[in-house]
């Protein structure tokens, strides 16, 4: 199968084909996900919680992200490899350039940043320097203390309008992919329709251009808790490969996420 690129994802959006994304942190699982047909593999700073046992993503370092990126890239041939930039690794444009370069050197093909308007200059600078960027709006886990916990974002009209405007600004600045986390389904659908780039949801309903899950949640083995927006595919199938295949199928046919995995 052909290598997945940002152009592949754009074409999928234009043709109405939904995109499947999952996190991975090592070569073995990356190879399994790649062979099953996953379009995007994300090395998430979620590793702080699911691998390290932390109660947030904040303690994760650039060096740790680079280590896991190298591992994932060695197991991946087809899928697009995206790496989270961890907390405070892009507080200034200079930090962002240096740390993004380190992650790209480790094997990332795109970096993901959390935040809105304050990132516009950084995103423009990264894209000008040949580094593809994925944005992230809604519940941004690196801002968990600011939000007062893991809470749904964009429920009131003002917050929803602001998120839509920020999404448009991020696209204009140069992002080629956008993740929406814990956002009401209707708002996520509006944002997906307003942007030309693909929008990937997690707890954002079925009306986005694709879905992403943390692999530990999808297999029902997360140490802390199972989010409302996740589904234990391993419990349904009893087999890891079948679980991955079913997840991809349900994303593509629009049966996941259902209302029980979404917010209003």
Instruction: Enumerate domains of the chain plus CATH numbers.
Output: 6-261 (3.20.20.60)
**Looking at the annotation, which residues are catalytic?**
181
The structure tokens listed for 177 are: 């992919």
**Alpha helix positions (H), the chain:** 6-14, 27-36, 47-50, 62-74, 93-105, 120-128, 144-147, 157-173, 185-194, 215-218, 233-237, 240-253
The pTM (predicted TM-score) of the whole model is 0.95
The structure tokens listed for 127 are: 């894209």
- With beta carbons less than 8 A apart as the criterion, state whether 31 and 75 touch: yes
Is 46 annotated as ligand-binding? Answer: yes
Exposure of 63 by Cβ count < 10 A (0-12 exposed, 13-18 middle, 19+ buried)? exposed
Is 84 annotated as ligand-binding? Answer: yes
Q: What is the mean pLDDT of residues 113-142?
A: 95
- Could you identify the residue written with the tokens 């629009």? 254
Is 55 annotated as ligand-binding? Answer: no
Residue 195: cis peptide before it, omega within 30 degrees of 0: no
Report pLDDT digits (tens) over 214-237.
999 999 998 667 788 999 999 999
Q: Which of 46-50, 68-72, 89-93, 153-157 has the lowest mean pLDDT?
A: 153-157
- With beta carbons less than 8 A apart as the criterion, state whether 9 and 200 touch: no
Pairing of the two strands 210-213 and 19-23: parallel
- 144 vs 186: which has the higher pLDDT: 186
Q: How many CA atoms lie within 13 A of 233 on its CB side?
A: 24
Is 112 annotated as ligand-binding? Answer: yes
State yes or no: pLDDT of 143 exceeds 80: no
As a whole number of angstroms, the distance between CA 37 and CA 49 comes to 26
Is 249 annotated as ligand-binding? Answer: no
Report pLDDT digits (tens) over 14-66.
999 999 999 999 999 999 999 999 999 999 999 999 999 998 899 999 999 99
């Amino acid at each position: 199968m052909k290598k997945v690129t940002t152009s592949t994802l754009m074409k999928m959006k234009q043709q109405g084909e939904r995109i499947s994304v999952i996190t991975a942190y090592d070569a073995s699982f990356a190879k399994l996900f790649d062979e099953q047909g996953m379009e995007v593999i994300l090395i998430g700073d979620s590793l702080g919680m699911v691998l390290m046992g932390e109660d947030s993503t904040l303690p994760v370092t650039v060096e740790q992200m680079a280590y896991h990126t190298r591992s994932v890239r060695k197991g991946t041939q087809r899928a697009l490899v995206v790496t989270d930039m961890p907390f405070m690794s892009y507080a200034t444009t200079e930090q962002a350039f240096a740390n993004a370069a380190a992650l790209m050197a480790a094997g990332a093909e795109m970096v993901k940043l959390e935040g809105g308007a304050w990132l516009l200059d950084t995103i423009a600078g990264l894209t000008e320097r040949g580094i593809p960027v994925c944005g992230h709006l809604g519940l941004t886990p690196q801002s968990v203390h600011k939000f007062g916990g893991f809470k749904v974002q964009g429920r009131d009209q003002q917050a929803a309008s602001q998120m839509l405007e920020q999404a448009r600004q991020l696209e204009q600045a140069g992002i080629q992919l956008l993740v929406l986390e814990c956002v009401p389904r209707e708002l996520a659908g509006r944002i997906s329709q307003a942007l030309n780039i693909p929008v990937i949801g997690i707890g954002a309903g079925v009306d986005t251009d694709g879905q992403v899950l943390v692999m530990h949640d999808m297999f029902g083995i997360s140490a802390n808790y199972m989010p409302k927006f996740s589904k234990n595919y391993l419990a349904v199938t009893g087999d890891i490969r079948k679980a991955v295949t079913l997840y991809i199928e349900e994303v593509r046919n629009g049966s996941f996420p259902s209302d029980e995995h979404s917010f209003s």
